[in-house]
Structure 1
Amino acid sequence: MTGTPADLLDEMTRLRARTRADRHAYVPPLLLFGVLVLLAPLWSDGGPPRFGVAGVWFGSPLQLYWLVAVVGGFLATAGWYLLRGTRSGVRTPIRPYLAIGLVGVVAISFGFPVVESFAYRVERSPYAQPSFTIPVAGAALLALGGVLALRSRLGSRGARGAATAAAMVFGLVALAMLDLRFAPVRPYAPLVTIALGLIGLAWLERSKVLGVISGCFAAAALLANLYNMQHVFFHLGVFARYEGEATMAFTNTLVPGLVLLAGGGVAWCLERRARA
Protein backbone atom coordinates (compact mmCIF):
# COMPACT_ATOMS: atom_id res chain seq x y z
CA MET A 1 0.00 0.00 0.00
CA THR A 2 1.42 3.36 -1.06
CA GLY A 3 1.72 6.23 1.34
CA THR A 4 -0.24 9.44 1.29
CA PRO A 5 1.00 12.42 -0.77
CA ALA A 6 2.11 14.09 2.47
CA ASP A 7 4.23 11.05 3.39
CA LEU A 8 5.81 10.98 -0.06
CA LEU A 9 6.56 14.69 0.17
CA ASP A 10 8.19 14.24 3.57
CA GLU A 11 10.28 11.36 2.23
CA MET A 12 11.39 13.43 -0.76
CA THR A 13 12.33 16.27 1.58
CA ARG A 14 14.42 13.93 3.71
CA LEU A 15 16.12 12.45 0.66
CA ARG A 16 16.87 15.92 -0.69
CA ALA A 17 18.38 16.99 2.64
CA ARG A 18 20.45 13.79 2.82
CA THR A 19 21.70 14.30 -0.76
CA ARG A 20 22.78 17.87 0.04
CA ALA A 21 24.54 16.62 3.17
CA ASP A 22 26.32 13.92 1.15
CA ARG A 23 27.43 16.52 -1.42
CA HIS A 24 28.66 19.02 1.15
CA ALA A 25 32.24 18.34 2.15
CA TYR A 26 33.37 21.64 3.59
CA VAL A 27 33.71 20.69 7.26
CA PRO A 28 37.28 19.30 6.98
CA PRO A 29 38.50 22.37 4.96
CA LEU A 30 37.05 24.70 7.60
CA LEU A 31 38.83 22.84 10.39
CA LEU A 32 42.06 22.60 8.37
CA PHE A 33 42.21 26.31 7.57
CA GLY A 34 41.26 27.15 11.14
CA VAL A 35 44.28 25.21 12.42
CA LEU A 36 46.58 26.71 9.76
CA VAL A 37 45.53 30.24 10.66
CA LEU A 38 46.10 29.65 14.37
CA LEU A 39 49.57 28.22 13.68
CA ALA A 40 50.74 31.28 11.71
CA PRO A 41 52.09 33.20 14.77
CA LEU A 42 54.72 30.49 15.30
CA TRP A 43 56.54 31.77 12.20
CA SER A 44 56.07 35.52 12.72
CA ASP A 45 59.18 35.97 14.88
CA GLY A 46 61.64 34.45 12.41
CA GLY A 47 64.75 35.79 10.78
CA PRO A 48 65.21 38.02 7.76
CA PRO A 49 64.34 36.96 4.18
CA ARG A 50 66.64 34.35 2.68
CA PHE A 51 67.41 35.81 -0.76
CA GLY A 52 66.79 38.89 -2.88
CA VAL A 53 66.08 39.52 -6.57
CA ALA A 54 66.29 43.07 -7.95
CA GLY A 55 65.95 44.53 -4.50
CA VAL A 56 62.96 42.37 -3.57
CA TRP A 57 63.57 40.06 -0.63
CA PHE A 58 61.90 36.66 -0.52
CA GLY A 59 61.82 33.79 1.89
CA SER A 60 61.00 35.13 5.35
CA PRO A 61 59.54 32.40 7.57
CA LEU A 62 56.10 34.03 7.63
CA GLN A 63 56.04 34.46 3.83
CA LEU A 64 56.97 30.82 3.34
CA TYR A 65 54.43 29.68 5.91
CA TRP A 66 51.54 31.54 4.29
CA LEU A 67 52.59 30.23 0.89
CA VAL A 68 52.66 26.64 2.13
CA ALA A 69 49.45 27.09 4.12
CA VAL A 70 47.46 28.55 1.24
CA VAL A 71 48.81 26.19 -1.42
CA GLY A 72 48.55 23.15 0.84
CA GLY A 73 45.12 24.13 2.12
CA PHE A 74 43.64 24.68 -1.33
CA LEU A 75 45.18 21.50 -2.75
CA ALA A 76 44.11 19.45 0.26
CA THR A 77 40.57 20.80 -0.11
CA ALA A 78 40.51 19.94 -3.81
CA GLY A 79 41.81 16.44 -3.10
CA TRP A 80 39.24 15.93 -0.37
CA TYR A 81 36.40 17.00 -2.67
CA LEU A 82 37.58 14.64 -5.40
CA LEU A 83 37.81 11.76 -2.94
CA ARG A 84 34.44 12.55 -1.39
CA GLY A 85 32.82 12.91 -4.81
CA THR A 86 34.18 9.55 -5.93
CA ARG A 87 32.80 7.86 -2.84
CA SER A 88 29.37 9.52 -2.80
CA GLY A 89 28.83 9.84 -6.55
CA VAL A 90 27.96 13.55 -6.17
CA ARG A 91 30.88 15.85 -6.97
CA THR A 92 31.10 19.62 -6.52
CA PRO A 93 33.01 21.39 -9.34
CA ILE A 94 36.20 22.78 -7.83
CA ARG A 95 37.97 24.46 -10.76
CA PRO A 96 36.71 27.95 -9.82
CA TYR A 97 37.87 27.31 -6.26
CA LEU A 98 41.35 26.35 -7.49
CA ALA A 99 41.42 29.48 -9.68
CA ILE A 100 40.87 31.61 -6.58
CA GLY A 101 43.68 29.75 -4.87
CA LEU A 102 46.03 30.35 -7.82
CA VAL A 103 45.34 34.08 -7.75
CA GLY A 104 45.94 34.16 -4.02
CA VAL A 105 49.21 32.25 -4.36
CA VAL A 106 50.47 34.69 -7.00
CA ALA A 107 49.58 37.60 -4.73
CA ILE A 108 51.34 36.03 -1.74
CA SER A 109 54.39 34.94 -3.75
CA PHE A 110 55.10 38.28 -5.40
CA GLY A 111 52.96 41.13 -4.06
CA PHE A 112 53.65 40.39 -0.41
CA PRO A 113 57.47 40.39 -0.67
CA VAL A 114 57.51 43.46 -2.93
CA VAL A 115 55.44 45.50 -0.51
CA GLU A 116 57.46 44.36 2.49
CA SER A 117 60.78 45.05 0.73
CA PHE A 118 59.78 48.61 -0.12
CA ALA A 119 57.50 49.26 2.84
CA TYR A 120 58.82 52.79 3.47
CA ARG A 121 58.39 53.81 -0.16
CA VAL A 122 54.99 52.13 -0.40
CA GLU A 123 53.67 53.99 2.65
CA ARG A 124 54.71 57.31 1.09
CA SER A 125 53.36 56.48 -2.36
CA PRO A 126 50.05 58.02 -3.46
CA TYR A 127 49.15 54.63 -4.95
CA ALA A 128 48.99 53.13 -1.45
CA GLN A 129 46.52 55.70 -0.14
CA PRO A 130 42.84 54.82 0.40
CA SER A 131 41.83 57.40 -2.22
CA PHE A 132 43.48 55.15 -4.80
CA THR A 133 43.35 51.61 -3.44
CA ILE A 134 39.68 51.56 -2.42
CA PRO A 135 38.24 52.82 -5.76
CA VAL A 136 40.52 50.53 -7.79
CA ALA A 137 39.73 47.51 -5.59
CA GLY A 138 36.00 48.31 -5.77
CA ALA A 139 36.11 48.63 -9.56
CA ALA A 140 38.04 45.35 -9.82
CA LEU A 141 35.50 43.55 -7.64
CA LEU A 142 32.60 44.93 -9.69
CA ALA A 143 34.32 43.86 -12.89
CA LEU A 144 34.98 40.45 -11.34
CA GLY A 145 31.31 40.03 -10.50
CA GLY A 146 30.28 41.12 -13.99
CA VAL A 147 32.67 38.70 -15.68
CA LEU A 148 31.51 35.80 -13.49
CA ALA A 149 27.86 36.61 -14.26
CA LEU A 150 28.65 36.78 -17.98
CA ARG A 151 30.66 33.55 -17.89
CA SER A 152 27.63 31.52 -16.87
CA ARG A 153 25.85 32.63 -20.07
CA LEU A 154 28.68 31.87 -22.46
CA GLY A 155 28.38 28.79 -24.62
CA SER A 156 31.80 28.09 -26.08
CA ARG A 157 34.67 26.69 -24.04
CA GLY A 158 37.08 29.32 -25.40
CA ALA A 159 34.85 32.18 -24.30
CA ARG A 160 34.45 30.69 -20.83
CA GLY A 161 38.21 30.27 -20.60
CA ALA A 162 38.77 33.91 -21.56
CA ALA A 163 36.20 34.99 -18.97
CA THR A 164 37.94 32.87 -16.33
CA ALA A 165 41.30 34.47 -17.18
CA ALA A 166 39.78 37.95 -16.98
CA ALA A 167 38.19 37.11 -13.62
CA MET A 168 41.56 35.96 -12.28
CA VAL A 169 43.18 39.23 -13.43
CA PHE A 170 40.52 41.33 -11.72
CA GLY A 171 40.85 39.25 -8.57
CA LEU A 172 44.62 39.72 -8.60
CA VAL A 173 44.17 43.49 -8.95
CA ALA A 174 41.85 43.54 -5.91
CA LEU A 175 44.34 41.54 -3.82
CA ALA A 176 47.19 43.77 -5.03
CA MET A 177 45.33 46.81 -3.74
CA LEU A 178 44.94 45.04 -0.40
CA ASP A 179 48.68 44.37 -0.30
CA LEU A 180 49.49 47.99 -1.11
CA ARG A 181 47.21 49.24 1.62
CA PHE A 182 47.86 46.84 4.49
CA ALA A 183 50.97 44.67 4.02
CA PRO A 184 53.51 47.28 5.24
CA VAL A 185 51.72 47.38 8.61
CA ARG A 186 49.99 43.98 9.08
CA PRO A 187 50.83 40.98 6.90
CA TYR A 188 47.42 39.32 6.97
CA ALA A 189 46.34 39.57 3.34
CA PRO A 190 46.49 35.74 3.01
CA LEU A 191 43.48 35.61 5.34
CA VAL A 192 41.47 37.39 2.67
CA THR A 193 42.62 34.86 0.07
CA ILE A 194 41.35 32.05 2.28
CA ALA A 195 38.08 33.94 2.84
CA LEU A 196 37.56 34.42 -0.90
CA GLY A 197 38.17 30.73 -1.46
CA LEU A 198 35.59 29.77 1.15
CA ILE A 199 33.05 32.24 -0.27
CA GLY A 200 33.60 30.72 -3.72
CA LEU A 201 33.20 27.26 -2.24
CA ALA A 202 29.93 28.30 -0.59
CA TRP A 203 28.66 29.50 -3.96
CA LEU A 204 29.69 26.26 -5.66
CA GLU A 205 28.07 24.23 -2.87
CA ARG A 206 24.94 26.40 -2.86
CA SER A 207 25.32 26.27 0.93
CA LYS A 208 23.80 29.00 3.09
CA VAL A 209 25.58 27.63 6.16
CA LEU A 210 29.01 27.87 4.54
CA GLY A 211 28.06 31.27 3.16
CA VAL A 212 27.36 32.58 6.67
CA ILE A 213 30.56 31.06 8.04
CA SER A 214 32.59 32.45 5.14
CA GLY A 215 31.06 35.89 5.60
CA CYS A 216 31.92 35.90 9.30
CA PHE A 217 35.46 34.78 8.54
CA ALA A 218 35.82 37.43 5.82
CA ALA A 219 34.76 40.09 8.33
CA ALA A 220 37.31 38.75 10.84
CA ALA A 221 40.00 38.71 8.12
CA LEU A 222 39.28 42.33 7.20
CA LEU A 223 39.33 43.26 10.88
CA ALA A 224 42.78 41.69 11.24
CA ASN A 225 43.99 43.86 8.34
CA LEU A 226 42.25 47.05 9.42
CA TYR A 227 42.79 47.06 13.17
CA ASN A 228 45.44 45.78 15.56
CA MET A 229 43.53 43.44 17.86
CA GLN A 230 46.37 43.56 20.40
CA HIS A 231 44.87 46.83 21.62
CA VAL A 232 41.74 44.91 22.67
CA PHE A 233 43.79 42.38 24.63
CA PHE A 234 45.78 45.22 26.18
CA HIS A 235 42.63 46.94 27.45
CA LEU A 236 41.43 43.60 28.80
CA GLY A 237 44.68 43.30 30.75
CA VAL A 238 45.83 40.13 28.96
CA PHE A 239 48.96 41.49 27.23
CA ALA A 240 51.09 44.60 27.39
CA ARG A 241 50.63 47.12 24.61
CA TYR A 242 53.42 45.45 22.64
CA GLU A 243 55.11 42.14 23.42
CA GLY A 244 56.69 41.29 20.09
CA GLU A 245 55.66 40.12 16.63
CA ALA A 246 54.50 36.69 17.77
CA THR A 247 52.06 38.13 20.30
CA MET A 248 50.74 40.64 17.79
CA ALA A 249 50.24 37.88 15.22
CA PHE A 250 48.50 35.70 17.80
CA THR A 251 46.02 38.40 18.77
CA ASN A 252 45.23 39.20 15.14
CA THR A 253 44.79 35.62 13.94
CA LEU A 254 42.99 34.27 17.01
CA VAL A 255 39.49 35.49 16.07
CA PRO A 256 39.65 34.38 12.37
CA GLY A 257 41.00 30.97 13.37
CA LEU A 258 38.35 30.44 16.03
CA VAL A 259 35.61 31.50 13.61
CA LEU A 260 36.66 28.70 11.25
CA LEU A 261 36.92 26.09 13.99
CA ALA A 262 33.57 27.06 15.50
CA GLY A 263 31.98 27.20 12.06
CA GLY A 264 33.32 23.76 11.23
CA GLY A 265 31.87 22.37 14.45
CA VAL A 266 28.45 23.92 13.80
CA ALA A 267 28.42 22.71 10.19
CA TRP A 268 29.34 19.18 11.31
CA CYS A 269 26.43 19.12 13.77
CA LEU A 270 23.99 20.37 11.14
CA GLU A 271 25.13 17.82 8.56
CA ARG A 272 24.93 15.01 11.09
CA ARG A 273 21.38 16.05 11.92
CA ALA A 274 20.47 16.16 8.21
CA ARG A 275 21.68 12.59 7.69
CA ALA A 276 19.80 11.29 10.74
Structure 2
Amino acid sequence: MTRRVRSAQRGTWFPLLLLGALTLGGILVGRFTFKVEAVSCPAGDAAASSGCTLITQGSPVYWTLGLALAYAATAFFYIRRSRNRGVGTPVRPYILTGIALVGLVAATTFWSIRQGMVQPGDTVDLWGLHLDPASGVTMFLERLTGPAAAVGLPLLVLSWVERSRALLLLTVVYLAIELVPLTDGWAGIPVTSPWSALPRFGVPGLLLLLGALGFGLAELPGKRTRS
Protein backbone atom coordinates (compact mmCIF):
# COMPACT_ATOMS: atom_id res chain seq x y z
CA MET A 1 0.00 0.00 0.00
CA THR A 2 2.85 2.39 0.85
CA ARG A 3 4.50 1.73 -2.52
CA ARG A 4 1.21 2.35 -4.33
CA VAL A 5 0.70 5.68 -2.55
CA ARG A 6 4.24 6.81 -3.32
CA SER A 7 3.83 5.75 -6.93
CA ALA A 8 0.60 7.75 -7.19
CA GLN A 9 2.30 10.78 -5.66
CA ARG A 10 5.23 10.78 -8.07
CA GLY A 11 5.42 12.99 -11.11
CA THR A 12 9.16 13.24 -11.54
CA TRP A 13 8.99 13.49 -15.32
CA PHE A 14 7.26 16.89 -15.20
CA PRO A 15 9.92 18.97 -13.37
CA LEU A 16 12.65 17.21 -15.35
CA LEU A 17 10.87 18.11 -18.59
CA LEU A 18 10.55 21.76 -17.60
CA LEU A 19 14.14 22.04 -16.39
CA GLY A 20 15.49 20.25 -19.46
CA ALA A 21 13.57 22.54 -21.83
CA LEU A 22 14.69 25.59 -19.85
CA THR A 23 18.33 24.48 -20.01
CA LEU A 24 18.20 23.89 -23.75
CA GLY A 25 16.54 27.28 -24.14
CA GLY A 26 19.70 28.75 -22.64
CA ILE A 27 21.45 27.87 -25.92
CA LEU A 28 19.21 30.24 -27.88
CA VAL A 29 19.46 32.91 -25.19
CA GLY A 30 23.24 32.66 -25.37
CA ARG A 31 23.11 32.90 -29.17
CA PHE A 32 20.98 36.04 -29.25
CA THR A 33 22.72 37.79 -26.35
CA PHE A 34 26.21 37.09 -27.68
CA LYS A 35 28.20 40.30 -27.85
CA VAL A 36 31.81 41.11 -28.72
CA GLU A 37 33.15 44.57 -28.01
CA ALA A 38 36.56 46.21 -28.08
CA VAL A 39 37.93 47.27 -24.69
CA SER A 40 41.12 48.92 -23.53
CA CYS A 41 43.84 46.47 -22.55
CA PRO A 42 45.30 46.56 -19.04
CA ALA A 43 48.74 48.03 -18.64
CA GLY A 44 51.50 45.61 -19.52
CA ASP A 45 49.24 43.24 -21.46
CA ALA A 46 51.08 41.59 -24.36
CA ALA A 47 47.98 41.94 -26.54
CA ALA A 48 47.82 45.73 -26.10
CA SER A 49 49.27 46.34 -29.55
CA SER A 50 46.53 44.37 -31.33
CA GLY A 51 43.71 45.40 -29.00
CA CYS A 52 41.56 43.43 -26.57
CA THR A 53 37.99 42.20 -26.87
CA LEU A 54 35.34 41.40 -24.29
CA ILE A 55 32.81 38.60 -24.92
CA THR A 56 29.51 38.64 -23.02
CA GLN A 57 26.75 36.08 -23.30
CA GLY A 58 23.64 34.98 -21.43
CA SER A 59 20.86 36.63 -19.44
CA PRO A 60 20.39 36.32 -15.66
CA VAL A 61 16.79 37.48 -16.09
CA TYR A 62 16.04 34.44 -18.30
CA TRP A 63 17.27 31.98 -15.68
CA THR A 64 15.72 33.75 -12.69
CA LEU A 65 12.30 34.16 -14.28
CA GLY A 66 12.41 30.78 -16.05
CA LEU A 67 13.31 28.81 -12.93
CA ALA A 68 10.73 30.64 -10.82
CA LEU A 69 8.02 29.82 -13.37
CA ALA A 70 9.22 26.20 -13.60
CA TYR A 71 8.93 25.72 -9.84
CA ALA A 72 5.52 27.43 -9.76
CA ALA A 73 4.28 25.19 -12.60
CA THR A 74 5.65 22.12 -10.80
CA ALA A 75 3.80 23.06 -7.61
CA PHE A 76 0.55 23.50 -9.57
CA PHE A 77 1.07 20.17 -11.36
CA TYR A 78 1.69 18.18 -8.16
CA ILE A 79 -1.21 19.79 -6.27
CA ARG A 80 -3.66 19.17 -9.10
CA ARG A 81 -2.36 15.62 -9.52
CA SER A 82 -2.77 14.87 -5.80
CA ARG A 83 -6.34 16.18 -5.80
CA ASN A 84 -7.29 14.13 -8.84
CA ARG A 85 -5.84 10.96 -7.31
CA GLY A 86 -6.96 11.60 -3.74
CA VAL A 87 -3.49 11.36 -2.22
CA GLY A 88 -1.23 13.89 -0.54
CA THR A 89 1.76 15.49 -2.23
CA PRO A 90 5.28 15.60 -0.75
CA VAL A 91 6.50 18.25 -3.19
CA ARG A 92 6.52 21.25 -0.81
CA PRO A 93 10.16 20.81 0.39
CA TYR A 94 11.32 20.60 -3.24
CA ILE A 95 9.45 23.77 -4.26
CA LEU A 96 10.55 25.78 -1.23
CA THR A 97 14.17 24.69 -1.63
CA GLY A 98 14.10 25.51 -5.34
CA ILE A 99 12.61 28.98 -4.90
CA ALA A 100 15.00 29.82 -2.03
CA LEU A 101 18.04 28.74 -4.04
CA VAL A 102 16.84 30.56 -7.16
CA GLY A 103 16.61 33.72 -5.07
CA LEU A 104 20.09 33.18 -3.64
CA VAL A 105 21.62 32.46 -7.06
CA ALA A 106 19.86 35.48 -8.60
CA ALA A 107 21.08 37.76 -5.80
CA THR A 108 24.64 36.48 -6.24
CA THR A 109 24.46 36.97 -10.02
CA PHE A 110 23.16 40.51 -9.80
CA TRP A 111 25.75 41.28 -7.12
CA SER A 112 28.46 40.19 -9.57
CA ILE A 113 26.94 42.33 -12.33
CA ARG A 114 26.84 45.30 -9.97
CA GLN A 115 30.57 44.90 -9.27
CA GLY A 116 31.33 45.01 -13.00
CA MET A 117 33.63 42.91 -15.16
CA VAL A 118 36.69 41.59 -13.35
CA GLN A 119 39.85 43.05 -14.86
CA PRO A 120 43.10 41.05 -15.15
CA GLY A 121 44.89 41.03 -11.82
CA ASP A 122 41.79 42.03 -9.83
CA THR A 123 40.06 39.84 -7.26
CA VAL A 124 36.49 38.53 -7.53
CA ASP A 125 34.11 40.19 -5.08
CA LEU A 126 31.67 37.53 -3.83
CA TRP A 127 29.48 39.09 -1.13
CA GLY A 128 32.45 41.01 0.24
CA LEU A 129 34.89 38.13 -0.07
CA HIS A 130 37.77 39.04 -2.37
CA LEU A 131 38.80 35.82 -4.08
CA ASP A 132 41.55 35.00 -6.51
CA PRO A 133 39.86 34.43 -9.93
CA ALA A 134 42.47 31.80 -10.84
CA SER A 135 41.89 29.82 -7.66
CA GLY A 136 40.23 26.42 -7.90
CA VAL A 137 37.98 27.33 -4.98
CA THR A 138 36.77 30.47 -6.79
CA MET A 139 36.01 28.57 -10.00
CA PHE A 140 34.16 25.89 -8.02
CA LEU A 141 32.04 28.53 -6.25
CA GLU A 142 31.24 30.18 -9.60
CA ARG A 143 30.03 26.83 -10.97
CA LEU A 144 28.14 26.06 -7.76
CA THR A 145 26.25 29.38 -7.77
CA GLY A 146 24.49 28.51 -11.01
CA PRO A 147 22.36 25.63 -12.28
CA ALA A 148 24.14 23.27 -9.87
CA ALA A 149 22.52 25.09 -6.94
CA ALA A 150 19.27 26.25 -8.54
CA VAL A 151 18.51 22.92 -10.30
CA GLY A 152 20.71 20.16 -8.90
CA LEU A 153 20.29 20.71 -5.15
CA PRO A 154 16.47 20.92 -5.32
CA LEU A 155 16.49 17.69 -7.35
CA LEU A 156 18.37 16.05 -4.48
CA VAL A 157 15.54 17.12 -2.19
CA LEU A 158 12.96 15.75 -4.66
CA SER A 159 14.79 12.40 -4.81
CA TRP A 160 14.60 12.28 -1.01
CA VAL A 161 10.89 13.14 -0.69
CA GLU A 162 9.97 10.70 -3.48
CA ARG A 163 12.32 7.98 -2.18
CA SER A 164 13.69 7.60 -5.72
CA ARG A 165 17.14 6.08 -6.14
CA ALA A 166 16.91 6.53 -9.89
CA LEU A 167 16.39 10.28 -9.52
CA LEU A 168 19.23 10.42 -6.99
CA LEU A 169 21.57 8.78 -9.52
CA LEU A 170 20.42 11.13 -12.28
CA THR A 171 20.97 14.15 -10.02
CA VAL A 172 24.48 13.02 -9.05
CA VAL A 173 25.39 12.72 -12.74
CA TYR A 174 23.86 16.15 -13.41
CA LEU A 175 25.83 17.75 -10.57
CA ALA A 176 29.02 16.11 -11.80
CA ILE A 177 28.49 17.65 -15.25
CA GLU A 178 27.79 21.09 -13.77
CA LEU A 179 30.55 21.12 -11.16
CA VAL A 180 33.22 19.47 -13.33
CA PRO A 181 32.42 21.02 -16.72
CA LEU A 182 33.78 19.67 -19.98
CA THR A 183 36.81 21.40 -21.45
CA ASP A 184 36.06 24.40 -23.67
CA GLY A 185 36.25 23.57 -27.35
CA TRP A 186 35.72 19.80 -26.96
CA ALA A 187 32.76 19.98 -29.37
CA GLY A 188 34.73 21.95 -31.94
CA ILE A 189 32.91 25.20 -31.10
CA PRO A 190 35.31 27.97 -30.02
CA VAL A 191 34.45 30.33 -27.16
CA THR A 192 34.35 33.18 -29.70
CA SER A 193 31.39 31.57 -31.52
CA PRO A 194 27.80 32.77 -30.87
CA TRP A 195 26.95 29.07 -30.38
CA SER A 196 29.60 28.49 -27.71
CA ALA A 197 26.83 27.86 -25.13
CA LEU A 198 25.59 24.80 -27.06
CA PRO A 199 27.81 22.15 -25.40
CA ARG A 200 27.59 23.83 -21.99
CA PHE A 201 23.78 23.67 -21.92
CA GLY A 202 23.20 20.90 -24.43
CA VAL A 203 24.70 18.07 -22.37
CA PRO A 204 22.85 18.72 -19.07
CA GLY A 205 19.69 19.71 -20.95
CA LEU A 206 19.59 16.43 -22.87
CA LEU A 207 20.33 14.52 -19.66
CA LEU A 208 17.30 16.09 -17.97
CA LEU A 209 15.06 15.44 -20.99
CA LEU A 210 16.17 11.81 -21.19
CA GLY A 211 15.46 11.51 -17.49
CA ALA A 212 11.98 12.98 -18.06
CA LEU A 213 11.36 10.43 -20.82
CA GLY A 214 12.53 7.55 -18.67
CA PHE A 215 10.45 8.53 -15.64
CA GLY A 216 7.47 9.27 -17.86
CA LEU A 217 7.58 5.78 -19.33
CA ALA A 218 8.02 4.26 -15.86
CA GLU A 219 4.98 6.15 -14.58
CA LEU A 220 2.60 4.94 -17.29
CA PRO A 221 -0.67 3.67 -15.76
CA GLY A 222 -0.03 0.03 -16.68
CA LYS A 223 3.46 -0.07 -15.18
CA ARG A 224 2.37 1.85 -12.09
CA THR A 225 -0.43 -0.66 -11.45
CA ARG A 226 1.91 -3.64 -11.75
CA SER A 227 4.39 -2.02 -9.37
Alignment partner for residue 127 of structure 1, among 93, 117, 130? 130
Change (3 A) 1:119 1:99: farther
SS in 2 for 1:259: helix
Q: Which residue of 2 aligns with 1:40?
A: 26
* Alignment deviations for residues 50-84 of structure 1 (CA, whole Å, 9 cap, x no partner): xxxxxxxxxx9611100111101111111111111
Query: Would the aligned equivalents of 2:64 and 2:106 in 1 still touch at CA under 8 Å?
Result: yes
Taking the TM superposition and a 5 Å limit, the aligned residue runs for 1:168-179 are: none
Given the alignment of the two structures, is residue 63 of structure 1 paired with residue 13 of structure 2, yes or no? no
* Alignment deviations for residues 143-202 of structure 1 (CA, whole Å, 9 cap, x no partner): xxxxxxxxxxxxxxxxxxxxxxxxxxxxxxxxxx77x9427xxx9713431111111111
Given the alignment of the two structures, is residue 27 of structure 1 paired with residue 25 of structure 2, yes or no? no
Alignment partner for residue 106 of structure 1, among 81, 98, 103? 103
Q: What is the aligned-residue identity percentage? A: 24
Q: Which residue of 1 aligns with 2:87?
A: 90
TM (normalized to structure 1)? 0.61
Cα distance in 2 between the residues matched to 1:204 and 1:97: 8
Cα distance in 1 between the residues matched to 2:145 and 2:25: 13
Q: Which residue of 2 aligns with 1:257?
A: 205
Query: Would the aligned equivalents of 1:92 and 1:204 in 2 still touch at CA under 8 Å?
Result: no
Q: Which residue of 2 aligns with 1:5?
A: none
Higher strand share goes to which structure? 2
Q: Which residue of 2 aligns with 1:266?
A: 214
SS in 2 for 1:251: helix
TM (normalized to structure 2)? 0.73
Cα distance in 2 between the residues matched to 1:198 and 1:181: 19
Query: Would the aligned equivalents of 1:66 and 1:108 in 2 still touch at CA under 8 Å?
Result: no
Give the partner amino acid of 1:76.
Answer: A
Cα distance in 2 between the residues matched to 1:255 and 1:90: 35
Query: Would the aligned equivalents of 1:192 and 1:221 in 2 still touch at CA under 8 Å?
Result: no
Given the alignment of the two structures, is residue 194 of structure 1 paired with residue 151 of structure 2, yes or no? yes
> Please, which runs of 5 or more residues in structure 1 have no aligned partner?
1-14, 49-59, 135-176
Cα distance in 2 between the residues matched to 1:18 and 1:95: 20
1:23 positional shift: 1.3
Give the partner amino acid of 1:232.
Answer: W
Cα distance in 2 between the residues matched to 1:86 and 1:131: 52
1:259 positional shift: 0.8
Cα distance in 2 between the residues matched to 1:133 and 1:77: 35
- Which has the bigger relative contact order, CA under 8 A and spacing at least 6? 2
Cα distance in 2 between the residues matched to 1:80 and 1:31: 12
* Alignment deviations for residues 76-116 of structure 1 (CA, whole Å, 9 cap, x no partner): 11111111111112222333223212322222332102223
Give the partner amino acid of 2:106.
Answer: S
Q: Which residue of 2 aligns with 1:142?
A: none
